[in-house]
Structure formats: structure tokens, C-alpha cells
Structure 1
């Protein structure tokens, strides 16, 4: 966890924590030893066999939604009280539940949460991207640290929300967050850095906040007035005498009161934002954690690839491809497993379950976006390593460390999703995708066994099992595969599909000859005579007649899936 250097916002400073540890060891050593022994016993028990399994039905998801509704903040969104974290895994579950059912409650919770976060101070209204969490219920005052993993996940959530609803505000958040990722988090080699600090010049948030006087000095009067009204910048401020930018008065309301069009105000606001961003770049910047963490890069590769394909942004797909190439070329050990980090070109540490699972998930998304089969093959190699080196021998699920990892007090096995999903939930999501593409029942059994063992906790504590619940939604839905045949000629068909939110359809690309060995779903697909590309919507090995145009494909999907 994070300890500030001095006491802050109810958290003790790290020196105080160290002093308390020292005093406890000096004055109460026997109790410390006894507590440590009890904790070790608990950890050993929790890492042992599987809990009792349960039947996997839609009732689990329905009850999870009901419990989330009870925790939901109807005014400001999110679940529970401050401090508020984005909880991207829970939002992804709600998105999939919306798509599978006719339940309107998840969409309402999603809309309020995504709107309020995008309007709040947790979102960077000049440079894009989200801070780690909000210290208040209103998403106004963030802990200003920006994490790569948060932004990768939220990029994916807002992208899927745009695909589902068509709301342009969500698309804007995706593009701005993607642009921030490429502009500020990308290493010269093409990997992505871990985080930006909260502090600059020893003061948290100094890089991001503004005074009314600074706004007036940098902008012309009309621009300054608009920025102050729209973003709630006042003389007194909302954070230690300065202002955190947040949407205080929407442009629609300002247009009504001023008599100007929303378009004219938006253009003026964009000009002003550009000037402020340029001025902000002249400030002392927060520090950057330049580690390239493989798992977090896996999240980012998947988010950028999917966003680029859906939005027609080839630069985002290219960035995902370059990052994937870097990790595959430099982050794979001699035994085929992954390193944990890349720093200054040096691989460090043994890759954990999450590194293998997150990267495999990202590579599957990159494969879907590019039709480059090498990424699918790399993902499958990682999946085999997960099964061979991380699988629990006495129960379902996977350990966090591989079989050859250095010996720890216990071999850890995380089975709850937090700020990032746990390795287990992403691993079974990957295995489910590969099970459908390879017709491999062994992978499906890992998925079912792991979910079954968590049936009760998923129901009772949904905020801790968001990604597991999202995988459950896939098992409850009628899974299909969309196989595109025709090589590069399939680009229009692929682009049409990628604009749709279809979490229960796995996009794949047909393989010719020996290339398709082991991928029965992707074997040779005959294209109708006289045409260069076709799309086959399949369920298992049974496929509907092919369609050859984007409009026909979308009609095909509507008829089959709705």
C-alpha cells in the first residue's frame, strides 16, 4: 500500500509506521511472534484446498447486481463511501450483465458512475487520464497519483460503454486517456511506465491545480470566463486555496444562459484547454516510475488495441503492437516464462500469474485488432505455461507464483479482484477465449471449477469479485465466434464489428493450411465466388451462411444475438 512521507488525510506517515513497528518489536516481542504465527496459519489455510463449490447459474449474477445496487451511491456513482476507487472490474461485470439481460439497473449504475467520474476532479480535464482514487464521495479531490493499470482498465470500460450506448462523451474520455498514455507514459523503446507521482516540488497536486488569477493571465477574457464557469474555478478554490478542475456547469446549461451554441462554446473551451495544457507543461513535473511492469503493460496493450480498432486510430494499434513486440522480444525467459519487469532494457524478477494472464489477454485483443496470428500463438503459449506451472494441484485455480519461483513462507493464491483484477480471474477469462477457439474442453474445465469454487463469495461480496463475475457472464451467455476470412480484405468487416459491444462473441481470423492446425474453429473458410472477404458467425463448429458486407454483418449479429 501507499504511505505518505508525513501524516496526510488520515493516513500516518511512513516514518511513524516504522517507529510503531520498532516499538512493538522492542516492547512486546512475544505478542508480535504469536500474532505472526497466527497470521502464518491463516495464510497457509487460505492457500490450501478449494472451498465448497456451487452451481453456476444466473441467480449468482442477479444477486450480485442486487447487492451492488444496495451499495450504490445514486447521486455520485460508485459503491460505498469515500475514499472511492473506480473499481473497473465491477463496472466491466455490469456492462456484460447489461448485454446478457434486460435488467436496466446495471446500466443506470454505470451511467451515473461513468458520468460523475468523467466530470470530477479524479479525471484530468486538460491532459486526460484518471488519478488513482477520490478522497471524497463526489470524485472531486483525488489522490493525484496516476497509475498505468487504472487508466488501461478505465480506457477499456469507457470504450465498452461507448460501444453499448453510443454516447460521445465516453468516446472522448477513451481518446483523451489513450493520448495521455502515449504522450506521458511511453518509454523510448515503446513500453509503458508504471505511474506518475502525486507530488511535485514536495506538494501533492501542485502540478494540476489552478488559481483564478493564473487562468485570467493565460487566457483571453472570454476563454477565462468560460473555463472558470465550466470547471468551477473560484477565488477561494476547492483545494487548499486553489482549484481542481471539474465540470461544475455543463456546456448545455451555459449555452442556454449565454445564448451561444454548445458547438461554439466547445470550440472556445478546446482552445483554452490547449493553452492551459501548454502552460502546465512548463511546471515542475511529478516524478515518473519508469519500471515497465509486464502485467500492467498487458492491460495497456489490450486497451489500446481495442480502442484503436474501434475508433479507427491506427496509431493506438501501432503503439500496442510495439509494446507487445518489446515484451515478447525482451521479457521472455529461456524457459518460456515471463519476467516481471523491464527496466532500462533489463528483465527483472520472475513473472507472476498476473503477468502471464494479463499479457495473454492483451495479446488476444491485439490479435483481434490486427489479424496477426503470431499474437494468438504467443497468447496460447502463455496459457499453456499458466496451466503447467501455476495450476493448483489440490484444487481449482492457480497460484500467483510459478513452480520454479523462489520459495516463500507460503505459495500465495489471490482469489479476489482489487484495484486490478487478480491473476486468477484474468487467467480463466483467457482460457475461456482459447477454449472457444481451440474447442479445448480442458480449458473450459479450469474455468468452471474455479468459478464454481467461488459461487458463494461472488454472490455475497461482488465488489471483490468483479472480473470473476464478468467471466461468469460469458459462461451464462450463448458464446459465439465471428471468423473473418480473406486476409487484409476483411478490414471493413472487422472495423464494423469492433464498433459493437459484443462481449460474448470472440473475433477470430481464418487460417490457411498448416497454420490452422490446432485451431479447428479457424480452419479454411470458403469465400463465396467472386468476393474477397467473408464473415462466418459460428457457435462451436456450426456456422451460419457467410456474409460479405459490413451492413450485412451487423444485420446478422442483430438477428442472431438480440
Structure 2
């Protein structure tokens, strides 16, 4: 069912609108607009229906720069607000809390405008059936850049609704047909590796050999695509002149050295506005940083380069310092803006830096980060690694160790000074799927970098989810200020199951395995299309909407169907559950035509396909002494994306499925399985490797 109207605090009722009781910081940003805002709820939809007024649906998120601009120009303007309130029922939605609404109406925007969407998303809906008949993104207060003013849009759309209803109904019918045609039809067979090869070839064709990344500006990190490339070190070099794994590590290193990464505080920004990864859109999203943290750990395993290790450490430190609440959950985003200006928190004046640093520190710092060059951001400097510490050390006649020490002390001094500034706003709601992505990244850091605090951080988030957002055998999607609500989505279940499998490889917990199995069962019961294959974004008990998508392609996050297929295959092989394997295979069949049509857009799904074609190697160690941990670390060395290693103490009994037969004997035992085929146990890692 739809959510109900949040209550307004009594002391703010006179000046606040209906958004004042929301759990969404984005909606709370609009709680004092003069607009007669509603949250998405049955009361608002009924009001539109009863009054025969179109719905103005505005979708955004708290860290969105252009959302802030439109709010200041239009939603805070009394005249515009009066027009909105008189002509429409106005509904404000946080796309992070309601990815179902966002996905449906972003697709509708693309069909109506033949352009990609974005935020703020502005959609006008018919009041009786909530179908969109006009859509756009940002509209200015006054006409400019070829865009009409928002007031012109409001009056024009309302007139069209009154005068052209038959045409709107006909357009809506065509739109619904088009939405349905976008959904995949079931396939007959799981494809071979050809879509994986073509995806790598497509990425190679668009690879920027000078700066890394794919295509031109703006450049996004796309960690799932980089993960796909990382998994193919044996592939042909191709026209790009680099192997897939080299393209991935080259791109990641340039992101790390450049302005996309916060050189002082750690963590990655959302995307780069230029091809050089120099000037980012300064917001920091949890869902980017979780996968990028894991990818840095993988790149370190593959290359042993300190660049990737240091980036992973800095990112993990930033998350624990700034993005984890006292209850354990991870917060969602940091805003791009502070004091009304994008990037103000991060940029520097050169004279200020000279005052803060000693001459010995300033010389290498300026050479590495570009303070010896013209300013690169609105007359100031955003730190970007123009040169490597190695090159600067050679030029300045110092050892690399000396240069690195001076750079570290300089960064520490600037970081300390930056802490005095007005901070960007933080969206402190807790989302299950985003937390799961970070739990996985933190677990990877704990395993690869031997970081006990990363493990503690991941476990704290998991404990918070189980205590607060797991109720009566189902997940809730979001939490803030003591209130958890909204039925969870496909990504919440799939990403959390995937994170648990990663966490189990750091330390064994039968309770976590049981939780992963419970999540898998809900996926099959509530989200799975047993007839045609794949998983819907929303469960069977979810509020009915105009469309129920099955997301197959990655966007800013890996596709829920791809992660579900990966996790179900891994869990199905671990415990020997054929239902999980069948559901994963059915998902790959459903996605077959879509993967062939646009391979590069299906990285998460292609990783699942890769592990279907060549099932992962699952190693289970059963021991009662310290050999359990020692052997597990030995067998986890290096970059081995197709190997899972679980160290299960001999004392653990009543394990589910095939795990129950993997018992310890008088001496420790190691079991190895590939897919559904298992070998006889051996009693040492050497024997395993020899076999």
C-alpha cells in the first residue's frame, strides 16, 4: 500500500508543509517551500483524482546540485509556488527511497522526449491512472538555453490537459505499450561467452588510452564494468593496446590520482565533468564508494601496487569517519555544495596553501597536485594529480620515500585546516542496498588488507540491518531518526545476500549463512517470475504502479537481476540448492537477447554469465586450530575472482545442504568443488594445489 501522510511537528505546522514528517532529508529540504507539496501517498493520489487536477511529480535527491538550483529558483518563489499549488497536486519523491517510481518515470521520460533523463525529474501525470503525458528535467525560472520558463511549462501543460484529453489518452496508451515492449521476453537458452567478449570489445573501442575511462566527458566510474574487465586477464589485447585488466587498472589509477578522489580525506566523488578525471561533480555517494573500495582491493591483489592499497585504506577510513552512524548503519551521501557553492569545501587558494605548508612540503605538493599551474576551478585549485610522486622526486633530487613523507605531512596539514570549514550537507538516511554494497567493500578490505576495523564496521552495519530493518521475515528499505519503513526492493535482497557471501569469507558465521538463505527464499517467493524468468524490482505485495520492471542493465548501481543471479549461483553451489541455480539460469535466459543487443550495459549480468559458464571454485576448510585461519589466508592470496574460500570451525555442526557432509576428521580437511562437482578432501593446501 501507499505510505500515509507524515505528521507535521506541532511547533512547525504553521510554516511547514506535509513533507515535514518525512524520513527523507531531500523531502525535508522542501518542507518549508511555499508549494503545497505532498509525499507520494494514497491521500495525494485521491485528491488529484477527486479534483481532476494533474499531478506534478518532482523526483530528486538531497545531494543533487540542479535539484537545489530548481528549488531555489522556483519552489522557493512565492509566485511560482502559487501557480503550482493552484493548477496541480504536487508530489515530491526522493529517488533513493523510491527507486521503483524513479525507474518507471525515468523510462517514461526517455520515451516521451527521446532523451536520457536525470534529476531533478519533472513529470506530469493524469490524475486517474498516474500515467505520464509530459516530462522534462530541470526547468529555469526564466527562459534560457533554449528552455522555456517553469511557469510557461506549468500553464502550457495544464492547458493541454484541459483541451487535449483525447490526444493525451491516445499518447498514454502508446506509452504503456512502449514500456511493456522494453521488458525482456523469456529466452530458450543461456547464451555462450560471446556477449562477454563483445562487451569487452565495446569497452576497448571507447577506451581513453590517455586518461583512462570510456568515452568522453562527463566520465563516470562504472565500477561494475571495471570489475568485468578485471576478471579477464587472459583476453586478447585488441585495438586498445591494453588487455581488459590493464584497461581497468589504468582507469582506476587515473581516477585515484586525479580529482575524482578526495586527495585529503579519501572517498570518490560521483563523476568527472572533464575527460581528465580532474574536476568532479563533488557529491559523494555511498553506492559508488562501496564497489570502488572492493575494486581497489582487487587491483592491489592483481598488481601489488601501493596506489590501490592506499586508495582502499583512505576510502575505508573516510567511510568509518564520516559515513557510519553510531547505531552502525552507513549514511547515504555527502552533498556537492556547501555555503551555497558547489565544491567550496574542497578547493584551495594557493596563497593559503603556502601559509599552511613549509617550503619543503610545498615544493613537491605543488608539483604533484598542480598548484604550480593555473587554477582549474573557478579561479581556485582543486587537487588533481598531474604528476606522480616518483617523477617529482626525480626532478627535485629527492628519494621517493622523502617525497612521499613530505606529501603525507602536507596532506595532513591541509586536511586539518579543511576540518574547520563549513561541511557539505549529509543525507543520513540508511538504505539497505547501499549499506550492502559498502558491507561487501569493507569485508573485502578486511580480508585483503588485514583491517580488523573494516570488519568491525561491516559487522556493525549488518547488525543494524538485522535489528532494525528485518521484520517478520521481510526487509524494509530505509531508516532515519528511529523510523524504518517502505517495503524493500530487489536490490536490497540481492545486494545483501551478495555481501553476506563476501563476509562469510572473512570469518564464518552460521547465522549469516542462515540469513543469506532466508533472503534467497524471499527473492524466490516474492520477486521471482517462475514462468518467464528473472526478478521484478518490486515484490508481489508492493503497491501497484503503472509498470513493474525487471531491471537487467546497470545504471549507477549494478543491476539487481545480475547481482541476484551471481549470488544465487554462489549460494546454490555452496549449499547444493538446485532451486537457486535454476532461478539464476532462468534469469540469464531472460536476459539473453538484451545482453546480445547491448553487451557493455550488462556488466553485472555478464559476470553472472561468466560464473555460469565456468562455475566458481568453492573451497571449504574444516579445522579446529589455528590452521583454519592460516590456510584460509594462504588459499586467498592473489587476485582470484573465481575462487571462494570459507574457513568453517570443526565445532560448527548442522550445516545446511552439501556443507553438512564436509566434516573435519582427526586432522583438518580441505574440500574443493567446482559447480556441482566435488573432489575428495585433502589435508593440506599443498595437497590441494598439487591435485
Q: Same fold (TM over 0.5)?
A: yes
Superposed counterparts of 1:507-518, under 5 Å: 507-510=645-648, 515-518=653-656
Of 211, 218, 230, 1:83 maps to 218
- The corresponding residue for 1:365 is 502
Displacement of 1:544 after TM fit?
Answer: 4.9
- The corresponding residue for 1:39 is 175
- The corresponding residue for 2:554 is 417
**CA distance in 2: counterparts of 1:369 and 1:411, whole angstroms:** 37
Residues 148-174 of structure 1: CA deviation (Å, up to 9, x unaligned): 000001011111111122222111111
Of 69, 93, 104, 1:6 maps to 69
Of 253, 262, 269, 1:124 maps to 262
CA 1:20 to 1:288, structure 2 compared with 1: closer, same or farther past 3 Å? farther
CA 1:241 to 1:547, structure 2 compared with 1: closer, same or farther past 3 Å? farther
Residues 380-432 of structure 1: CA deviation (Å, up to 9, x unaligned): 10011001100124411001111111111122321211110121111111101
Could you tell me which runs of 5 or more consecutive residues in structure 2 were left unpaired when the two chains were aligned. Answer: 1-59, 74-117, 121-136, 142-148
CA 1:81 to 1:522, structure 2 compared with 1: closer, same or farther past 3 Å? farther
Helix, strand or coil at the partner of 1:383: helix
Could you tell me which runs of 5 or more consecutive residues in structure 1 were left unpaired when the two chains were aligned. Answer: none
Displacement of 1:514 after TM fit?
Answer: 8.5
Displacement of 1:517 after TM fit?
Answer: 4.3
Please tell me whether the aligned partners of residues 619 and 671 of structure 2 are also in contact (alpha carbons under 8 angstroms).
Answer: yes
- The corresponding residue for 2:230 is 95
- The corresponding residue for 2:297 is 159
Displacement of 1:34 after TM fit?
Answer: 4.3
Superposed counterparts of 1:17-28, under 5 Å: 18-19=150-151, 21-28=153-160
Displacement of 1:358 after TM fit?
Answer: 0.8
**CA distance in 1: counterparts of 2:624 and 2:267, whole angstroms:** 35
Of 234, 248, 256, 2:386 maps to 248
- The corresponding residue for 1:278 is 416
The reply to whether residue 71 of structure 1 matches residue 209 of structure 2 is no
Displacement of 1:102 after TM fit?
Answer: 6.6
Residues 354-396 of structure 1: CA deviation (Å, up to 9, x unaligned): 1111111111111221111211110110011001100124411
Displacement of 1:235 after TM fit?
Answer: 6.8
Superposed counterparts of 1:143-222, under 5 Å: 143-222=281-360
Please tell me whether the aligned partners of residues 272 and 280 of structure 2 are also in contact (alpha carbons under 8 angstroms).
Answer: yes
CA 1:42 to 1:214, structure 2 compared with 1: closer, same or farther past 3 Å? same
Please tell me whether the aligned partners of residues 146 and 196 of structure 1 are also in contact (alpha carbons under 8 angstroms).
Answer: yes
Please tell me whether the aligned partners of residues 435 and 443 of structure 1 are also in contact (alpha carbons under 8 angstroms).
Answer: yes
Please tell me whether the aligned partners of residues 202 and 600 of structure 2 are also in contact (alpha carbons under 8 angstroms).
Answer: no
**CA distance in 2: counterparts of 1:32 and 1:271, whole angstroms:** 64
**CA distance in 1: counterparts of 2:253 and 2:519, whole angstroms:** 37
Of 579, 599, 603, 1:466 maps to 603
Please tell me whether the aligned partners of residues 509 and 522 of structure 1 are also in contact (alpha carbons under 8 angstroms).
Answer: no
TM-score by length of 2: 0.75
Structure showing the higher helix proportion among its residues: 1
Superposed counterparts of 1:253-272, under 5 Å: 253-272=391-410
Displacement of 1:32 after TM fit?
Answer: 5.1
Asked which structure has the greater CA Rg, the reply is 2
Residues 14-45 of structure 1: CA deviation (Å, up to 9, x unaligned): 55585464244124333555444332222234
Please tell me whether the aligned partners of residues 619 and 645 of structure 2 are also in contact (alpha carbons under 8 angstroms).
Answer: yes
Displacement of 1:304 after TM fit?
Answer: 0.4
- The corresponding residue for 2:474 is 337
The reply to whether residue 295 of structure 1 matches residue 295 of structure 2 is no
Moved more, 431-440 or 517-526: 517-526
- The corresponding residue for 2:25 is none
Please tell me whether the aligned partners of residues 64 and 460 of structure 1 are also in contact (alpha carbons under 8 angstroms).
Answer: no
The reply to whether residue 457 of structure 1 matches residue 594 of structure 2 is yes
**CA distance in 2: counterparts of 1:248 and 1:72, whole angstroms:** 20
**CA distance in 1: counterparts of 2:450 and 2:573, whole angstroms:** 27
Superposed counterparts of 1:518-533, under 5 Å: 518-527=656-665, 529=667, 533=668
Displacement of 1:525 after TM fit?
Answer: 2.7
Displacement of 1:254 after TM fit?
Answer: 1.1
**CA distance in 2: counterparts of 1:511 and 1:216, whole angstroms:** 56
Helix, strand or coil at the partner of 1:243: coil
Please tell me whether the aligned partners of residues 227 and 248 of structure 2 are also in contact (alpha carbons under 8 angstroms).
Answer: no
Helix, strand or coil at the partner of 1:28: helix
Helix, strand or coil at the partner of 1:6: helix
**CA distance in 1: counterparts of 2:610 and 2:455, whole angstroms:** 27
**CA distance in 2: counterparts of 1:81 and 1:400, whole angstroms:** 31
Please tell me whether the aligned partners of residues 73 and 79 of structure 1 are also in contact (alpha carbons under 8 angstroms).
Answer: yes
- The corresponding residue for 2:126 is none
Please tell me whether the aligned partners of residues 292 and 342 of structure 1 are also in contact (alpha carbons under 8 angstroms).
Answer: yes
- The corresponding residue for 1:387 is 524
Please tell me whether the aligned partners of residues 347 and 380 of structure 2 are also in contact (alpha carbons under 8 angstroms).
Answer: yes
**CA distance in 2: counterparts of 1:186 and 1:209, whole angstroms:** 25
**CA distance in 1: counterparts of 2:649 and 2:661, whole angstroms:** 6
CA 1:214 to 1:462, structure 2 compared with 1: closer, same or farther past 3 Å? farther
Higher relative contact order (CA 8 A, sep 6+): 1
Moved more, 459-468 or 381-390: 459-468
Displacement of 1:51 after TM fit?
Answer: 4.5
CA 1:242 to 1:506, structure 2 compared with 1: closer, same or farther past 3 Å? same
- The corresponding residue for 2:457 is 319
CA 1:219 to 1:517, structure 2 compared with 1: closer, same or farther past 3 Å? closer
Displacement of 1:101 after TM fit?
Answer: 5.0
